Amino acid sequence: MAGSVDVAAILGPQGRIAQRLQNYESRPEQLEMAQAVADAIAQQRHLVVEAGTGVGKSFAYLVPAILSATLPRDDAPIGSRHAGRGPSLRHEDEHADPSGSDDNDEGDRPEAKPKRIRIVVSTHTISLQEQLIARDIPFLRSVLPVEFSAVLVKGRGNYISLRRLAGAVEKARTLFEDDESATQLRQIEEWAKTTTDGTRASLDFKPLPTVWDEVQSDSGNCLGRRCPNHEECHYFAARRRVWNADILVVNHALFFSDLAVKRDGGNLLPEYDVVIFDEAHTVEAVAGDHLGISISNGQVEYLLNKLYNERSQKGLLKSYQHMSGQELVVNTRFLSQDFFDAVHHFQQRMGLSNGRFRKPPDIDIDLARPLTQLAKVLSDLAEPMKDEGAKMELVSAGLRCLALAGSITTWLNQSMADAVYWLEASGRRQERIQLLCAPIEVGPVLHQELFNVAPSVVLTSATVAVGDRDFGFLRNRLGVGAAEELKLGSPFDYRKNAKLILPKNMPDPNERPADYEAAVCERIKKYILQTDGRAFVLFTSYRMLENCASRLEGWMRQNRFSLYSQAAGTPRTLLLDRYRKDTRGVLFGAETFWQGVDVPGDALKNVIITKLPFSVPDHPLLEARLESIRQNGGNPFFDYQVPEAVIKLKQGFGRLIRTKTDTGQVAILDPRVRTKRYGQTFLASLPQCMVIHDD
């Protein structure tokens, strides 16, 4: 790999990192994982790795990935997708224009064989992305004896379009009805003159969605090389860097958006040879979200307001004084309200308590038709125009109308096979209606479109195995097929540094829920006192979180503990920042605090898990998945619900020990972990530590 350099020469006890860092400790688990990743890439195999906290997963996959990516193509141990399992796909060389389908001129580019392979690293959380790009990769660039390029890939909507910005400034009076929007537009105009990357993240304020939507880069509203701002376009500059990079860092959402777009012949990412999924336990959920459909009354209203808002007398059609188009928008808005109300009333009338539609609803309101008519109006208006920018703005709005019409038709007719369809209503008066659809199983899709195409896919997380070393749940859910497996424990001394408390005599949460909640509150008091606060209390439902916070709020004040409750509506990041700064803090958190939260050191000494994290079985998607397992002869509870809950529990447990010197305790208050047969599966999945059966 890269001549005589291998992973041991970098990560080993005498390796380059050890020579650079005085207190570096080589970890056998990290070396073993790095070698397994190197072998999987070299031999074009898939690999599933569970690596416990402290293994150093990011270096364990980045080092072999970089060394493999920097080998010359002729010497590389791996073929690209030209020679892989999948169909012939093209890479661009460093001189090719990466504008892709956005310029509608892919056929103009020469077929170019790349010199090196390309590797995608996909994460779930922004914090891990930032760690890779801002810390890990720059450090490895200074240590490794090879030159490589790595970029963070952002979705197109993160970039400013200079042409659209100029158009928005020119039409501001007809686009925006309030002073705040106009002020923000002027601020963006000034920022655009000096920004070096052109991304929304570099703005010093958060723009209103209505403002950013008018100025962001948009594939449906792009002139490509014909754009007068093409040379200074931030998006295309970024895209050129992406197309020439060895390592692409993306998030799961962008990766699976790309997979969905590829079905229609498009692409968000260049072709790749290797995919490494960190935080792989979240892949099924993210893939399902991006391979399905989501339509809301808010989406339709937003688009119609963009075209014409009769209250403010603003909008695209108003700027062209297109009276019949404006009238059609007004009628479509009324029809949209009737349509979403009708679907919601149908759900209530039919007693579909969880919102699931097992067959197409009997709705006689055709919302797709006027949306299609609006697309035709916009197309006809654009046709004779000489100003390409203005023309594209209209065409883009028409495409949005068609896309919404198509999604509504698909949902109403339930024309996506092997999928589940449901409605979610939210807001005080249930006024926000969302129609959703997702594949019941993502495994067959991923097996066909990912694992059978990419020569090597690596899936890694601290929590992918169930029990001692069973990877079957993840592999079956994702359709992995043939793959190597590796389970690596943590180098941390859990026996010495962590205690697991299992209280006795707790009521069963299913049989006596009220008694259980009262007992949980008493145990929370006891264990918080043991660590003088500095605790996470993790809940599986907001209802129980709110009830317990209400019960314990006075006691917390009386004992001078600061209660940071997610029930108060404080954003997660702000809640976490306040907790970290408080020496007597107690944080009550629901699902988002079970994973992706890092509080090393003395700020967190105690994790209290109020209930085993089983998903609500009547959620439409889970309900459909459990039915599918049953129909195929499986046991839904043991084949899906238990392993899914085990992985979530491992995530919650993992909040406690984040560094070698961290110490503390985890209390699992749910008696089923001791009294039920499946409880042993939960306990066997946790790191081995001192267990206390508490009276």
**Chain CA centroid to CA 523, Å:** 34
Q: What mean pLDDT is reported for the chain? A: 90
The DSSP secondary structure of 432-478, one letter per residue, reads: EEEEEEEES-SHHHHIIIIITTSSEEEEEESS--BTTTB-HHHHHHH
The superfamily in CATH containing domain 494-694 is P-loop containing nucleotide triphosphate hydrolases (3.40.50.300)
Average pLDDT over residues 579-602: 93
Q: Are 668 and 609 in contact (CB under 8 A)?
A: yes
| CATH fold match for the domains 28-149+245-284+444-462+475-488 and 494-694 | yes
3-state secondary structure of 138: helix
Kindly report the pTM of this predicted structure: 0.89
Six-digit token pair at 442? Answer: 């993502």
Average pLDDT over residues 511-540: 97
Average pLDDT over residues 640-667: 96
Quote the pLDDT of residue 359: 96
End-to-end alpha carbon distance in the chain: 57
Quote the pLDDT of residue 115: 59
Q: Which CATH architecture has domain 28-149+245-284+444-462+475-488?
A: 3-Layer(aba) Sandwich (3.40)
pLDDT at position 322 over 60? yes
Average pLDDT over residues 74-94: 37
Spans of all domains in the chain: 28-149+245-284+444-462+475-488, 156-238, 292-439, 494-694
- Say what percent of the chain tops pLDDT 90: 81
Quote the pLDDT of residue 256: 96
Average pLDDT over residues 531-539: 97
Q: Which CATH architecture has domain 292-439?
A: Up-down Bundle (1.20)
The β-bridge relationship of strands 119-123 and 690-694 is unpaired
Quote the pLDDT of residue 137: 97
pLDDT at position 126 over 90? no
Q: How confident is the model at residue 428 (pLDDT cuts 50, 70, 90)?
A: confident
Dist CA 84 CA 450 (whole Å): 12
Q: Are 502 and 577 in contact (CB under 8 A)?
A: no
Quote the pLDDT of residue 173: 82
Crossing angle of helices 297-307 and 368-382, in 10° steps, is 30
The β-bridge relationship of strands 293-296 and 247-251 is unpaired
Among 277-286, 365-374, 566-575, name the one with the lowest average pLDDT: 566-575
pLDDT at position 34 over 80? yes
What distance separates the 2 farthest-apart alpha carbons in the chain? 81
Dist CA 676 CA 678 (whole Å): 5
DSSP state of 99: T
pLDDT at position 394 over 50? yes
Q: Are 609 and 666 in contact (CB under 8 A)?
A: yes
Average pLDDT over residues 536-552: 96
Quote the pLDDT of residue 265: 84
Quote the pLDDT of residue 74: 54
Choose between 105 and 500: higher pLDDT.
500
Q: Are 226 and 49 in contact (CB under 8 A)?
A: no
450-470 per-position pLDDT tens digit:
999 999 999 999 999 998 778
Dist CA 290 CA 250 (whole Å): 15
pLDDT at position 471 over 50? yes
